[in-house]
Amino acid sequence: MLGPMPRDYKIRGYTVAQSPNPPLWVALAGLVVAIIASGTLEDVGRAVFYVGFTAWAYEELADGVNGWRRSLGAAALILIVIGLARSFS
């Protein structure tokens, strides 16, 4: 029988990935809604995705367990800004 999934994925003791936290689950749910819906519901799903992903990226940037995770948060925030700029242009 399989045990619980590990929370942290490490390479030589250095955390490179973790199981999704609540803001990332919210972002993923919003993304799914945006993909399968249309019209207003698609817009709501997209907005939920951006809010959840932004919260996750900020948490990683501010409180990441190591430099890699903080850099991942910074890169995600940059991609969010680029994505929003493209959607409004």
Question: Does the structure show a pLDDT above 70 at 5?
Answer: no
Q: What percentage of the chain reaches a pLDDT higher than 90?
A: 64
Question: Which tens digits make up the pLDDT trace of 46-67?
Answer: 999 999 999 999 999 999 888 9
Question: Does the structure show a pLDDT above 50 at 1?
Answer: no
User: 43 - beta bridge partners?
Assistant: none
Question: Which tens digits make up the pLDDT trace of 34-43?
Answer: 999 999 999 9
Q: Please tell me the distance from the alpha carbon of residue 75 to that of residue 69, in angstroms, as a whole number.
A: 10
CB 19 within 8 A of CB 7: yes
Mean pLDDT estimate for the chain: 88
